[in-house]
Amino acid sequence: MSGLSISRRGLLAGMSAVGASAALSACGAKTGSDTSSDSAAKADTSGSTVKVGLLNSLSGTMAISEVTVHNSLLLAIKEINAAGGVLGKKLKPISQDGASDWPTFAEKAEALITDDKVVATFGCWTSASRKAVKPVFERYKSLLFYPVQYEGLEESPYIFYIGATTNQQIVPALDYLKKQGLTKLYLVGSDYVFPRTANKIIKAYAKAKGMTVVGEDYAPLGSTEFGTIVNKVKDSGADAVFNTLNGDSNVAFFKEYKSSGLTAKSMPVLSVSIAEEEVKSIGTQYLEGQLTAWNYYETTPGAANTKFVKAYQAAYGKGKPTSDPMEAAYISVYLWKEMVEKAGSFDVAKVKTASDGITFEAPEGKVTVDGASQHVYKTARIGKVAADGLIEEVWNSGGPIKPDPYLKGYSWASGLS
Amino acid sequence: MTVILNQSFTGISIGAVLLLIALGLTLTFGQMGVINMAHGEFIMAGAYTTYVLQKSISSAGVSLLVALPLAFLVAGAMGVLLEWLLIRRLYTRPLDTLLVTWGVSLMLQQLARDIFGAPNVQTSAPDLLTGNISLGGGITFANSRLFILGLALLCVLALTLILKLTPLGRRIRAVVQNRDLAEVSGIATGQVDRMTFFIGSGLAGVAGVALTLVGPIGPTMGTNYIVDAFLVVVVGGIGQLKGSVITAFALGVLQSVLEYSTTVSVAKVMVLVAIVAFLQWRPQGLYTLRTRSLA
């Protein structure tokens, strides 16, 4: 009898809690719509610290990659604070977990802007997560710094793209293959938007520049059966494979590739989604001698990189690799700092105006912000996987390439988009 | 000619993987009629067993050989536990069994995620298995695939011998053919069921070890294969070992030949269409079991 009354009391308490939280969330929604009708969420810059948002997947399938980006962002913030902060204010990082789930990304982005009143947000990895948060940042007129190479064909006024667009990664990679006399290509990719878009660009390039695409195959994301695809590649008489496979399919593909007797010498594979971290997990024995295309490698020479690698390993453990997206994340905070200081204000519109021409001595070399496209001038680098699992540069574009997300400067690309 | 030989070999090796996975199902689904959705997670358990072993035994070759019997025991024990805790209470309710084992499958996937982390892991294959045998003229057989093929055939042979020659096998067949009559003849059917489930689940564990040679190890690796494995059992004829063997190789070769001339997805669709057409014509599958039961 007494048990029943307790449970009834518990039920009542639970019901009132539900009522209270419903009231709270209604209230939250109200302030949300207020701020958006106010045309912008006011970032809070009144105190001696300002908040910056970090939006990465700290759990779920993308966590393996995004946690390293998160670490790099925290490292940059720590360094900036140690040097006196931005405009005399210390940065306070607010981390939100996107949980590898795209609607969650949008929800957390909104929370960062409206609840935490951050002055800028850094993060996202997959194009799907970027596309999910894009309308949020545009609605609240708040800034996102995106650190990963992507498929181009996008320019949001409220996103700064710090990773490479196609003309800074895929196009130079094709230039390199052509120069090596590897003109017959076989395209292998995962079956989703990035590989299909990339391959469309590759085919347009090949058609205009006298290269041939002898085959094209897509495997479902996560697929582990590559026997037939590798046989087709082998019989195709291709000079090289252009690999846009993503994630774990790479493991199965390279295992099959090696056991079929194909080697980096007989038919090199150029990959655009395999960085130092992935080399470790796929296994160096399968990748040694294969090619990659990025803007930064752990082995990139220069004092700025030596300092970055040393600082990262001191903070997160000896032997931890640094990769292109991590480097881009690291410099994105510094680039934002330079923009704010040039503008003399945290105000988004002023920061955007100040962005053009901002330069930074990055680990990858000097980078410059292109204010019009809100992308970054970056040097393209082709690397070769070495026996120790690091990637050694074999070619670079000689200097930073102007970002061209819509490939407007390339006549052969006119039929795309 | 080279193309045909290479593709047939690829097809046969796909078939071998399918066969290894389907073998356990021919016992648990075919003989016992239990739709065990957690079968894929026993595959995963076998694969993770290999991974854990390789971390403690540095030699890839030794750890692979030790992993085979150990994965059989680990997956088998999980199967027995599942049978004893849940499935035996649900023998007359096949739909409930399906739902319950599906729930168990989700729980096991999450458990793997919590123990080993969400990202997939890899094992390194022994050097002997990373190369290939070349027959000249561009015909090559990958060693790892030959190993899987050998393993699959060995499992078929062992299972056939157990079913035909041992007292346990005789009891299993008796229970399948007529459960009631077997029971009144003094066979402890509950015990036989548990042993059948042990062997069937154990074979899934062995399949898991083989899969580590092909791809990465992850919480959802089993679910990628489970549908194909059920197809093999259904097309082969429920409860028929030889039906599963023939079907597995036939589907593997069909898939790889079609894939060569089209794409992965189109080939998959065509194989499924072929299966549907075949089952229209022969709903009972390739082989049927003649039983003396009245039902």
Report if residue B224 sits inside a domain: yes
Please give the Cα distance from B112 to A303 (Å, whole number).
43
Which residue of B118, B260, B264 is in closest CB contact with A231?
B260
Between residues A213 and A225, which one has the greater pLDDT?
Answer: A213
For residue B265, the model assigns a pLDDT of 86
For residue A417, the model assigns a pLDDT of 62
Note down the domain range covering B188.
2-120+141-281
Report if residue B293 sits inside a domain: no
Which residue of A63, A191, A232 is in closest CB contact with B118?
A63
Per DSSP, helices labelled H in B26-166 are 39-56, 60-85, 94-116, 127-130, 143-165
Between residues A416 and A363, which one has the greater pLDDT?
Answer: A363
CB-CB under 8 Å, A228 with B216: no
Report if residue B291 sits inside a domain: no
For residue A27, the model assigns a pLDDT of 41
B131 Cβ under 8 Å from any chain A Cβ: yes
How far is CA A401 from each of CA A155, A360, A408, rounded to the nearest angstrom? 17, 15, 14
Report if residue B232 sits inside a domain: yes
CB-CB under 8 Å, A217 with B119: no
**Which site among A224, A250, A254, A258 would you substitute to test the B interface, given the most B Cβ atoms closer than 10 Å to its Cβ?**
A224
Cβ contacts from A onto B, under 8 A = 104
Checking if the pLDDT of B95 tops 60, the result is: yes
For residue A1, the model assigns a pLDDT of 38
For residue A38, the model assigns a pLDDT of 42
Lowest-confidence segment of A77-81, A133-137, B113-117, B279-283 by average pLDDT:
B113-117
ipTM of the complex in this document:
0.77
Provide the chain A residues 387-406 that lie in CB contact (below 8 A) with chain B.
Answer: none
For residue A19, the model assigns a pLDDT of 42
Half-sphere exposure of B138 (CA within 13 A, CB side): 14
Quick one: how many helices (H) and strands (E) in chain B?
12, 2
Report if residue B219 sits inside a domain: yes
Mean of pLDDT values over A170-176: 95
Q: Which domains does chain A have, with CATH numbers?
A: 49-164+302-377 (3.40.50.2300), 167-295+381-413 (3.40.50.2300)
A34 Cβ under 8 Å from any chain B Cβ: no
Report if residue B96 sits inside a domain: yes
CB-CB under 8 Å, A218 with B132: no
Q: How many domains does chain B have?
A: 1
Q: Which of A324, A335, A411, A326 is nearest to A376 (CA)?
A: A335
Report if residue B75 sits inside a domain: yes
For residue A264, the model assigns a pLDDT of 94
Using pLDDT thresholds of 50, 70 and 90, give the confidence band for residue A220: confident
Using pLDDT thresholds of 50, 70 and 90, give the confidence band for residue A77: very high
Checking if the pLDDT of A2 tops 80, the result is: no
| Partner residues linked to A52 by β-bridges | A93
The 10s digit of each residue's pLDDT in A6-38 is 444 444 444 444 444 444 443 434 343 444 434
CATH assignment at residue B96: 1.10.3470
Please list every residue in chain A whose beta carbon sits closer than 8 Å to the beta carbon of residue B6: 231, 234-235
Mean of pLDDT values over A96-107: 90
Checking if the pLDDT of A3 tops 90, the result is: no
Report if residue B192 sits inside a domain: yes
Most confident range (mean pLDDT) of A221-230, A358-367, B115-124 is A358-367
The 10s digit of each residue's pLDDT in B57-89 is 878 888 999 999 999 999 999 999 999 999 888
**% of chain B beyond a pLDDT of 70:** 97
Using pLDDT thresholds of 50, 70 and 90, give the confidence band for residue B38: very high
For residue A40, the model assigns a pLDDT of 54
